[in-house]
Structure formats: C-alpha cells, structure tokens
Amino acid sequence: MTTRGQTQQFDKALFKASVEKHLVTTYAKTPETADSRSWYLAVGKALAEISTGSLLETEKQIAEQNVRSVNYLSLEFLIGRLTGNNLISMGLYEEVSAAVEELGLNLTDLLEEERDPALGNGGLGRLAACFMDSLAAQEYPAVGYGLHYEYGLFSQSFEGGHQVEVPDAWRGIEGYPWEVVRPELGQTVGLFGSVETYTDKAGTSCRRWVPAMTVEGVAWDLPIVGYDNKSVYPLRLWECRSPAPFNLARFNDGDYVGAQYGQLEAGNVTKVLYPNDNHDQGKTLRLMQQYFHCACSVADILRRHFAAGNKIEDLAKLESIQLNDTHPTIAIPELMRILIDEHKLGWDAAWAISSKVFAYTNHTLLPEALERWSESLIADMLPRHMEIIFEINHRFMTLVEEKWPGNNEIKRKLSIIEEGQQRMVRMANLCVVSTYAVNGVAALHSELVKRDLFPEFNELFPGRLHNVTNGVTPRRWLKFCNPGLTELVNEKIGTEWPAKLEQLSGLAKFAEDKKFQKRYLAVKKDNKQRFADWVQDNMGIELDTNAIFDVQIKRLHEYKRQHLNLLHILSLYHRLLNEPTFDMHPRVFIFAAKAAPGYALAKDIIFAINKVADKVNNDPRLGGKLKVVFVPDYRVSLAEIIIPAADVSEQISTAGLEASGTGNMKLALNGALTIGTMDGANVEIREEVGDENIFIFGLLVDEVLKQKEEGHDPYRYYHADSLLRASLDLLNTDEFTPGNPGQLSAIRQNLLDGGDPYLVLADFADYVKAHEKIDAEYRDQATWARKTILNTALVGKFSSDRSIRDYVNNIWKLKAVSVK
Ligand code: GPU
C-alpha cells in the first residue's frame, strides 16, 4: 500500500512501546498471552493517542481563528472501520505495517479484528460519513453530531434462508479503541412537563418550559482524520444517561432495584438504532432520541460559540447547522426556545437568527418516509416546542394568505400542521419554512423536489431550493478498498488523485491501450479472486472468476427492486432448462441486503433469493452457468471487498424513487458497468461515462407517473410475455422449496394481484434485453476492458470532495483553515 507523505510525527520505537504499554495496562494482556483481537485493540489505542492530540489541537486553532463552521446533524453516521482508513489519512500505513511486523504481527490480519461501527442503516448514514471525511480532507471547519448507540444496526444471519437479526454490540466489552469520552462537554436535557407564564424583572410576561424530568448527555468523540493534512475533526456522539446514579432516598429505604429504575430508562434513549431505511415508524422513543440528539448538539454549538467570545447575535454569521433529512428537525424549535426563553430575544430577532442558521437536505420522495409526528405526542414530551411550532405555522400561514388570498386548499397543503382525526406535524414542511437552504441529492431528485414535492414552496421562497449531487470518498472507496487498482492508477497519473478525483480522466487515453487493458483486467480478476476466497471460506460456495460478477448490494426495499433481479434470474434458469439453443456467459448474481425487521415482503424476497440460490448452485443441469450468492450481514467492510470485484452494478429502482444512490458511484469508480434505470444519480453517471458505457433500460419518471395514473395492469404483461409468465409461475411451484409449493408465492401475489406498485412487470422485458447486451459485450474482452476503464476514468465528479465544495460554495460559505 502506497501512502502519501506522513502527516503525523512518527517514531517506530516509541509507537511499538505504546502498543505494548496499552496491551498490558489498558487490556491486561502480555505479549505472550495476547490474541489477535487484543493486539488490534492495543494498536488502535496507540494510534488514537496520536489522533486525539491532533483533534484537540485542531479544535484550539479553529476556535482561535473564530471562523465559520458547519455542524452536520445526523441520527446516523455509518463510518465503517476506522483503523485502516485513518492509517491512510495519517500517511502511516506502511510505517505501522512495518512496526507491527517487528512485533510479530500482520497488519492486514489485525485490521480484520475490527468490528464495523454500524451506526447507520444505509445510504443516508454512509453519506454522512463520506461528508465528514471530505470536510476534514479539505479542512472546512466542521463538527459531526450524532448518537452513541449502544447497539448499532442488527447483524444479520440466515436460518433456513430466513433473515435472523442479532443485536450488534459494536463496542465489544472493552470499548472501541478510537473513541474518547469528553466528560467536560456533558449536557442536561429536559423532557415532558409543562409551560408556565411568569413576569420577568422588566415586568414583561414570558413563557418558560418546566420539564418533568432530565437526562444527561455524555459526549464521545471519534476522530475524523483529514487526508494528507494535520486536521482531525470530531464526530461527537451523545450517550444518554440518568442524572444521578440512583435515587438515594429509595435506596436507603431498601428499594435497591426500584432505585436504579430511572437509570435504566435514561439508558434506553440511546440503546439502539432504529433499523428502518426510508420508512417512518413514529415511535415515542424515536422522537426522544431525536430531541435528545438535537438538545445536546445545539447546546454544544452554543457552548463553542460563547467560549470563543461571540455574541448570540452573531450566531448565523459563524455557525451553519445542516439537518440530514428531517430526523433532527426538532433542533429548530429548540434553538428558537433558547433564543427566546433563555436569551430573551423577541420572536423576530430570534427568527432572524434561526432561519439563517439551519439548512435541510431532503433524501427521499417516498411518502412513507416523510416524517410526521402527532401533535399530542410532541405536546406531551416537548410542550414548549409545540407552542413554538404553532407560532411558526401561524406566521407562515399569514405569508401564504398574502401570496394566495383566500386559497384554503393551498393553505391545507402547505401547512406545517396536517388537520385530521389527529393533527400531525409535517417535519419536511417545518424544515422548508424554517431554513435558508433546502437541497435534494441528485439533479433529477432536486428537480422532482421542486416540481412534485414542494412546487408552491419554490414559488414562495425563490432561490431556497438547491441541488447538491451526492458523492463518495475516494480514500475509502478506491485507495483503501482497491490497492491493486490504486497502484495501477498511481503509475499512470501519479498519486494526487485521492484528493483530486477529476484527475482520473487522465486514464481515458489508456482505454484502448492493449497492455493497460490487460493489467486493468488482471487487477479485476485478482479482486474477484479475493472475494471468491471470502465466499468459499465463509459460505462454502465455489465461484469461477471467469464468470460475470453481477452485484446488487443495498438495503432490501421494494422500490429498489431486488425482485426484478430475481425474476431475471428465474428467466435465465427457465431458458437454460427449456430453450435448447439458449446460451449465456457464466454469471454469478451477488446480493447483499438487510431488511427492516418488520418489513414482511422484503424478508420474503430475501428468503426467495436464498431458496433459488440453494437450488441453482447445486443443479448439474445448469452446467455451472448460473450461481446466486446472498452474502449475509451486509456492512461497510463487506462492501469494501465486493465492490472492487464487481463487473456489473445493478441500479434498477423504479424511476423517480431512488433519490440518488451512492453505491452506484462506488461501483462505477471501481470499474463495474451499470445496468440501471434513469433514476437518481444514474442519470448523471450516464452523462459522465457516455451512453455507450452504461446499460440504461426501463420507463422514465414521467412514463412511470403516466402509467400509474392510467392504471397499471400487471396481468396485461403477464399474458403478453411468455418468459415473464414462466418466470413468475416458477414462484408458485415447489421447484426451489421441494415439497412446499407456495412458499415463494407472496412475491408473485404482490406483483399480480397486489397491483405491482413498483412497476416491476412493466420494466421486465427491457431489463432482460439490457442483460442480453451485457452478455454479448462481456464476451468481447477488449470492448469490455475499454468500457470498464472509461467508467473509472470518467466518474471523478462523484467524489464527496466535490459535493462538499458545492455545499461550501452555495450553502455553507466556509473558508478552509489549514491546521499547522
Ligand atoms: N436514504 Br430518507 C436512506 O438511506 N435512508 C433514508 O431513510 C432516506 C434516504 C438514501 C436514499 O434512499 C438514497 O437514494 C441516497 O443516495 C442516500 O439517502 C443519500 O442521500
């Protein structure tokens, strides 16, 4: 692994001594008795010692310069393993590799001991992690604020093909070596209670919240190490604890268990990450998590602001707060409450600040994902916040009345409060009304936000709605995960590209170069072998690396259409067995996906793919042409070995429903060709790589809308297309569930009698055709090589460094601070 100039002072002997010291004093092992995990922990702690020093120094220098920062508020940060990545950013990969070798250890093996901190569900949480990496790499002052969940996203295993969820104690018993607790940053957070009116010293009548209980927020910092610089930014995660260890009075009364009860309840707030992706569950404890997160984070932002000697009036000049989806929206009324009730600002003065501090990113158009909280729930838990939300809405309705006099229909539509059986607070509406910038996450998505989701808001607040196309960090998603390709790229275009991904375009001129093609394909082959070995070791399935590795890795969701992929596999199975002239290049279909525990159809799809895999992987009639692998427990560290091994990237959502996608970017960067719909960032990937280097199929957004309007009739497709019919009907047999017909029929049922809500059947024929084209083009290895090289060369736009610069230039207006 090649590294850039090291950015930290490094003394090998001192480092080894530090590792051995931590092994003994922190983890109570001797070099003789230590296992691999203890060594990993000790190495992690020795490195964290270096990064924590830099974190404090960065905090100090930024505070001294008193410059504008962004605060990224997110309920999820799916950071993945830190050790390998931080070593690359610190420029210490080779040095530490050599140091641990002298201790008789192998760095690659040690890195495998780290559990992924799975503090997110999928794309939204992973984006937040890439953004923190890019902020630090480019030294734009930032703090990430999240929650210190005791349990991250569940780990997944399969029993008889069914998903089983196991709690994810990501910190282990010893704690995570990279985290450092910051007791001096603790916060107290109120909950429940009532609002009272009182008269202040000046004789003015005021409102204030009297909470019924409080909980404590404990800050844990994880280091976000800047690539090739000296900046280390905090990812600050709040843990909820009870204020006192236990109730002493009751303890002394002898009620020992009852006395600790309060403590158990407070601990529940940050006990576990809600496992829903693109879906709002509306649970009370979730609202409590959101408020706890926001209250601690806003208080910490204000603490920093005042510690640097600033006045409250200058808050919007110095701080921007980015809301990652609506999950942290309650931060808005929380800041208003503090400005009005604690700093005694009038409404207009408070609003002038607050409405210039917050900005909001929308990540979905799916109605079931748009958060709404019942008024009664908010009023109960956060009575003062509910008052403030009503006041924001009241003033907003006045604005709407001015713009569209007498138009009650528009008022009903735009109102933050949704009337009905029980009144609901629409968090997205609250965000659009109360922020200075709203953005979608890909060009198409942002257009749809303007056109379909918030058209009137766009008229009312011209210029507020933006686009910032998502991106991914090239450090983790090329340099770290694909060392073979990294070396090849370095040789051709130098070593600056991990910080300047546009430079990859310099590879385009080698796309036709036979020697380069051979080496590029050899790297791909090695990566396929690395993954095939993993599958052999962990799943006992043998894979042929000459086959096309066709990859769909993402959360399991109907709109992402893993079942369309499955139907295509069934069609190949059917043709191999029934069409004597049918031939295909060997194909391995690779899936990885978690389903939300309560999402029945998603779990049915996992079960069906697993059952089909069992059969086709062991059916001699198929001549080894068809393999299906469902890799359990999808997570960042698995993506790091699947992505470099992929030939084909499945991005097949119903047009208009995938806001952006980011896996599509990682896969193209690593040389997989996309088969995809005109959805999300696929549209922009096509623009960059050219129509001949991507396989686009399916209905366009407006065709989808039209078909839904006119009434989509799945049976029309079923009767007209015999291949589709044969594929669907296989789900009703016991072909894959011997002796148990009907075990897979829920999917068929949903597609035929359930109305096929995601238009799987409408896109099937075109999808099959696109796959036939892939098959033909893969057989011509020179053509394939050119296309895959051009994919790597032409996706430089999708670096999260560029996304962050877009935010900085158009929304946050930050200046970089170079830490000395
Ligand atoms: N996304 Br809302 C999630 O991963 N989870 C969510 O709850 C919501 C959105 C994703 C989008 O589905 C995906 O298209 C996008 O690339 C990603 O957020 C980051 O913007």
Provide the CA 673 distance to its chain's centre, in angstroms: 22
The total domain count for the chain is 2
Residue 248's pLDDT is 62
- Indicate the top mutation candidate among 76, 277, 368, 558 to test ligand 1's pocket, ranked by most ligand atoms within 8 A of CB: 277
Per-residue model confidence as pLDDT tens digits over 372-404? 999 999 999 999 999 999 999 999 999 999 999
d(CA 640, CA 652): 21
**Residue 514 in 3-state DSSP?**
helix
| Residue 382 CA: distances (Å) to CA of 316, 333, 386 | 25, 10, 6
**Is residue 459 located within the same domain as residue 320?**
yes
Segments of 312-464 assigned E as strands: 319-324, 358-361, 372-374, 417-418, 424-426, 437-440
* List of the chain residues with pLDDT < 50: 1-4, 264
Provide the CA 409 distance to its chain's centre, in angstroms: 36
| Residue 251 CA: distances (Å) to CA of 254, 256, 590 | 5, 5, 56
662 catalytic? Reply is: yes
What is the whole-number distance in angstroms between the Cα of residue 268 and the centre of ligand 1? 26
Query: What one-letter code names the amino acid at 132?
Result: M
Per-residue model confidence as pLDDT tens digits over 430-461? 999 999 999 999 999 999 999 999 999 999 99
Nearest to 817 by CA among 221, 151, 69: 69
Residues 85, 57 contacting (CB under 8 angstroms): no
Nearest CA to ligand 1 atom 6: 278
* Token reading at 779: 């057989």
Domain presence at residue 526: no
Domain presence at residue 1: no
| Residue 583 CA: distances (Å) to CA of 324, 525, 624, 723, 779 | 48, 23, 12, 15, 12
What is the whole-number distance in angstroms between the Cα of residue 158 and the centre of ligand 1? 25
594 catalytic? Reply is: no
**Is residue 169 located within the same domain as residue 279?**
yes
Domain presence at residue 210: yes
What is the whole-number distance in angstroms between the Cα of residue 788 and the centre of ligand 1? 26
Domain presence at residue 86: no
**Is residue 459 located within the same domain as residue 545?**
no
Residue 706 has a CB neighbour count (10 Å cut-off) of 12
**Is residue 453 located within the same domain as residue 560?**
no
Nearest CA to ligand 1 atom 16: 661
Residues 689, 794 contacting (CB under 8 angstroms): yes
What is the whole-number distance in angstroms between the Cα of residue 373 and the centre of ligand 1? 20
Residues 812, 322 contacting (CB under 8 angstroms): yes
Domain presence at residue 512: no
Domain presence at residue 667: yes
Rg value, the chain, Cα: 27
Q: Which residue has the tokens 């140091």?
A: 99
* Structural domain range at position 788: 541-798
What is the whole-number distance in angstroms between the Cα of residue 277 and the centre of ligand 1? 8
**Is residue 629 located within the same domain as residue 737?**
yes
**Is residue 388 located within the same domain as residue 293?**
yes
560 catalytic? Reply is: yes
Return the percentage of the chain with pLDDT > 70, whole number.
97
Element (H, E) at 809: none
Closest ligand 1 atom to the C-alpha of 364?
2
**Is residue 311 located within the same domain as residue 192?**
yes
**Is residue 641 located within the same domain as residue 766?**
yes
d(CA 703, CA 686): 19
* Annotated catalytic residue within 554, 557, 574, 797: 554
**Is residue 680 located within the same domain as residue 555?**
yes
Domain presence at residue 627: yes
83 catalytic? Reply is: no
What is the whole-number distance in angstroms between the Cα of residue 470 and the centre of ligand 1? 10
Pocket of ligand 1 (CB under 6 A): 121-124, 127, 277-278, 325, 363-364, 369, 441, 470, 658-662, 680
Q: Is the dihedral of CA 781, 786, 788, 789 positive or negative?
A: positive
Query: What is the phi/psi pair of residue 383, to 5°?
Result: -60, -40
Nearest to 81 by CA among 400, 480, 402, 401: 480
- Structure ipTM over 0.90, yes or no: yes
Per residue, the 3-state secondary structure of 143-171, as one string, reads EEEEECCCEEEEEEEEECCEEEEEEECCC
**Is residue 270 located within the same domain as residue 350?**
yes
Q: Which residue has the tokens 């600033």?
A: 310
CATH number of the domain bearing residue 755: 3.40.50.2000
Closest ligand 1 atom to the C-alpha of 658?
14
d(CA 317, CA 305): 11
Residue 267's pLDDT is 80
Per-residue model confidence as pLDDT tens digits over 551-560? 999 999 999 9
Domain presence at residue 48: no
* Cα diameter, the chain: 92
Nearest CA to ligand 1 atom 19: 124
DSSP string, 101-153: HHTT--HHHHHTTPPP--BS-SHHHHHHHHHHHHHHHHT--EEEEEE--SBEE
**Is residue 444 located within the same domain as residue 578?**
no
**Is residue 317 located within the same domain as residue 234?**
yes
